[in-house]
Amino acid sequence: MIRIAAITGALAASTLLGGWGFDAQGPYCLYDPEYTNCGYPSLEACLATARGAGGYCAPNPRYVEAPPQRRRVR
Per residue in 7-41, pLDDT (tens digit) is: 556 555 555 554 444 456 899 999 988 889 999 99
DSSP 38-65: EEESSHHHHHHHHHHH--EEEE-TT--P
pLDDT higher than 60, residue 45: yes
CB contact at 8 A, 37 and 18:
yes
Assess whether pLDDT exceeds 90 at residue 71: no
User: Domain map of the chain by residue range?
Assistant: 2-59
Q: Checking phi first, is residue 15 left (phi over 0); if not, alpha (psi -120 to 50) or beta? A: alpha
Residue 35 CB neighbours (<10 A): 14
